[in-house]
C-alpha cells in the first residue's frame, strides 16, 4: 500500500508538472512569435525607409538634370507671358489657369520620357510614379495688396509634371516655391509684382509590396521555417508528454487492478493456512481436507492470473500460430454451443452464421480465444443480448466475424485506446468491472498475427459492435 501511495503521489506530481510545462511552453511560443513579429516589423520598416531614400535620391538626381530644368522653364515662361495678358485684362483668372494646365499637358510627355529613361538607369525594378502639382499662386503689388490666382486649398489640382495618381497613395517628398519680381506693362505704364508660385512633388512606388517581399524573402522564409520547426518540436514534445502521462496512469490503474485481483486469493490462502495450523484442525480430517482444497483452488487461481498476465502481454510477433484449413461456419457454431453452456440463462446469443463454402486458414485455438474474449468482454460490460455473425466480405476478400452487444458502450473518444495494453476506460462506473485491461489487447494481437484487423463501432449507452476480419487465403 505504501508503494501504491507513493506511485499515486508521483503520478499526481507528474500531472501537475506536465500542466506547468505545457503552460510554460505555450507561453514561450507566444513570446517567440511576438519577438519574431517585432523583428520582422522592424526589418520591414527599415527596408521601407531604405527604399524610400533610394527612390527620393533617384528622383532628385533626375529632376535636377538640365533636360528637366529646360522643360520646367517652358511652363514658367509661358505662365509669365499669360500673366501680362491677365493684367492687361485680355484673359480672365480662370483662363490663365487653364492655359497653364494646357501648357503642362503639352510638355508632360517630353518630361515623362526623360524621367523614365533616367529611372531605368537607376534601377529597372523600381516602378516609381512622379507628380508635381500646383499648391498656390499669389501676386503682391508694391502697396502690399495680395491677389490670389490659385487658392492653397483648391480641389482643382493642376499637374505641372508627371503622372496623375491618387494623392493618398503618394508620398510628399518636396515643397518648393518659385518667387519672382515680375514687371508687368499695361496702359502705357508698368508695375512690379512679386510672384509667389508654390508647388509640391509627390512620388508613388507602385510595386512597393513586391520590392519589400523581395528584400525580406530570405528573412521571411528563415523565420517561417524556424517557427514551423519550433511548433513541430513543441507539438511532438507535448504529445510525448501526454503519452507518458497516459502510460503512467494506465500502469497505476493496472497495479490497482492486479492488487485487487490478488488480494482475494491471498486472503483466502491466509485463512486456509491458519485453519490448517489451528488446534481445531488437528485430528479433523474433514476440516484439513477442505482447507487443502481451498489452498489448491486459490493456488490454481493465482497461477491462472499470472498466466493471464504473461500470455496476454505477448505481442503478435511472439504468437506462434499453428494454422489449418477449416469450415468457418462449423467452427463458430461449435464454439458458440460450448460457450452457451458456461453463461447465465438470462444471456441470449442470436446467431447469423452463413455457410460460405470457403475454408478459413487460421489457428483454431487462438481464433477461439479471440472470439471468446470478445464475448466475455461484451457480457462483462452489461451485454445481455448478443448477436454473433459470420460472413464473407467480397469487397476486401475477408472472413468477417461480428460480435454485437447491448452493453454500456464505448465513447468515441476512448475507442482508439481500447486495444492498448493495460488500458481501461476511466469514465463513470466502468472501473466497477474487474479486469486487467489485457483482454482486448491480447485479442487484437491474435488478429494481427493472422494478418487481420479488428475494429469497433459504438456509442455510450448504445452497446458496441466489434468486427474481426481475417484475409481469405487462396
Q: Could you report the per-residue pLDDT of 394-409, keeping only the tens digit for each? A: 898 999 999 999 988 8
Q: How far is CA 18 from the centre of its chain?
A: 21
Q: Could you tell me whether strands 385-393 and 453-458 are parallel, antiparallel, or unpaired per DSSP bridges?
A: unpaired
Q: Where are the alpha helices (DSSP H) in 64-123?
A: 66-87, 93-122
Q: What is the mean pLDDT of residues 34-61?
A: 82
| Distances, alpha carbon 417 to alpha carbons 215, 401, 440, in Å | 50, 21, 10
| Average pLDDT of the residues of the chain | 80
Q: What is the mean pLDDT of residues 385-392?
A: 94
Confidence of residue 331 (pLDDT cuts 50, 70, 90): very high
In whole angstroms, give the CA distance from residue 410 to residue 460: 5
Give the CATH number of domain 324-471: 3.30.565.10
Backbone angles phi, psi at 148, to 5 degrees: -95, 115
| Distances, alpha carbon 14 to alpha carbons 9, 23, 74, 233, 257, in Å | 8, 14, 85, 21, 21
Task: Find the farthest-apart pair of alpha carbons in the chain and give their distance in angstroms, rounded.
Answer: 162
Confidence of residue 171 (pLDDT cuts 50, 70, 90): confident
pTM score of the predicted model: 0.45
Q: Is the pLDDT of residue 334 over 50?
A: yes
What pLDDT is attached to residue 126?
73
Q: Is the pLDDT of residue 326 over 80?
A: yes
Q: Where are the alpha helices (DSSP H) in 159-282?
A: 208-277
Which residues on adjacent β-strands are paired with residue 145?
Answer: none
Query: What interhelical angle do 2-63 and 208-277 show, nearest 10?
Result: 180
Contact criterion met (CB below 8 Å) for 449 and 321: yes
Q: What is the mean pLDDT of residues 306-333?
A: 78
Q: Is the pLDDT of residue 2 over 50?
A: no
Amino acid at each position: 500500500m505504501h508503494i501504491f501511495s507513493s506511485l499515486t503521489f508521483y503520478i499526481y506530481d507528474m500531472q501537475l508538472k506536465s500542466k506547468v510545462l505545457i503552460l510554460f511552453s505555450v507561453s514561450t511560443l507566444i513570446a517567440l512569435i511576438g519577438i519574431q513579429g517585432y523583428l520582422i516589423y522592424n526589418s520591414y520598416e527599415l527596408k521601407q525607409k531604405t527604399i524610400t531614400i533610394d527612390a527620393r535620391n533617384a528622383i532628385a538626381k533626375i529632376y535636377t538634370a538640365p533636360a528637366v530644368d529646360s522643360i520646367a522653364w517652358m511652363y514658367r515662361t509661358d505662365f509669365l507671358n499669360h500673366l501680362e495678358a491677365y493684367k492687361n485684362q485680355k484673359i480672365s483668372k480662370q483662363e490663365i489657369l487653364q492655359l497653364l494646365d494646357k501648357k503642362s499637358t503639352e510638355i508632360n510627355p517630353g518630361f515623362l520620357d526623360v524621367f523614365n529613361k533616367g529611372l531605368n538607369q537607376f534601377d529597372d525594378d523600381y516602378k516609381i510614379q512622379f507628380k508635381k502639382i500646383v499648391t498656390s499662386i499669389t501676386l503682391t503689388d508694391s502697396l502690399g495688396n495680395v491677389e490670389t490666382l490659385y487658392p492653397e486649398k483648391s480641389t482643382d489640382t493642376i499637374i505641372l509634371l508627371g503622372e496623375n495618381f491618387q494623392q493618398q497613395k503618394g508620398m510628399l517628398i518636396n515643397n518648393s516655391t518659385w518667387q519672382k519680381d515680375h514687371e508687368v506693362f499695361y496702359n502705357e505704364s508698368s508695375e512690379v509684382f512679386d510672384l509667389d508660385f508654390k508647388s509640391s512633388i509627390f512620388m508613388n512606388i507602385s510595386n512597393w509590396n513586391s520590392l519589400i517581399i523581395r528584400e525580406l524573402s530570405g528573412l521571411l522564409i528563415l523565420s517561417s521555417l524556424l517557427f514551423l520547426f519550433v511548433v513541430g518540436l513543441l507539438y511532438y514534445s507535448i504529445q510525448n508528454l501526454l503519452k507518458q502521462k497516459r502510460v503512467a496512469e494506465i500502469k497505476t490503474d493496472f497495479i490497482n487492478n492486479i492488487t485487487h485481483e490478488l488480494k482475494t486469493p491471498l486472503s483466502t490462502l491466509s485463512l486456509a493456512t491458519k485453519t490448517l495450523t489451528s488446534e481445531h484442525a488437528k485430528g479433523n480430517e474433514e476440516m484439513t481436507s477442505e482447507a487443502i482444497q481451498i489452498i489448491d483452488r486459490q493456488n490454481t487461481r493465482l497461477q491462472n492470473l499470472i498466466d493471464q498476465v504473461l500470455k496476454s502481454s505477448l505481442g503478435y510477433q511472439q504468437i506462434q500460430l499453428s494454422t489449418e484449413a477449416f469450415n468457418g461456419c462449423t467452427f463458430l457454431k461449435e464454439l458458440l454451443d460450448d460457450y452457451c453452456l458456461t453463461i447465465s440463462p438470462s444471456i441470449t446469443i442470436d446467431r447469423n452464421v452463413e455457410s460460405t463454402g470457403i475454408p478459413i486458414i487460421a489457428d483454431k485455438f487462438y481464433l477461439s480465444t479471440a472470439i471468446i474474449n470478445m464475448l466475455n468482454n461484451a457480457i462483462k460490460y452489461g451485454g445481455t443480448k448478443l448477436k454473433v455473425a459470420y460472413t464473407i466480405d467480397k469487397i476486401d476478400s475477408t472472413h468477417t466475424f461480428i460480435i454485437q452487444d447491448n452493453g454500456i458502450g464505448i465513447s468515441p473518444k476512448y475507442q482508439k485506446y481500447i486495444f492498448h495494453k493495460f488500458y481501461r476506460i476511466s469514465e463513470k462506473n466502468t472501473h466497477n468491472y474487474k479486469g486487467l485491461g489485457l483482454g482486448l489487447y491480447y485479442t487484437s494481437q491474435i488478429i494481427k498475427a493472422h494478418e487481420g484487423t479488428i475494429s469497433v463501432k459504438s456509442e455510450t449507452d448504445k452497446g458496441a459492435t466489434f468486427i474481426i476480419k481475417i484475409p481469405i487465403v487462396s
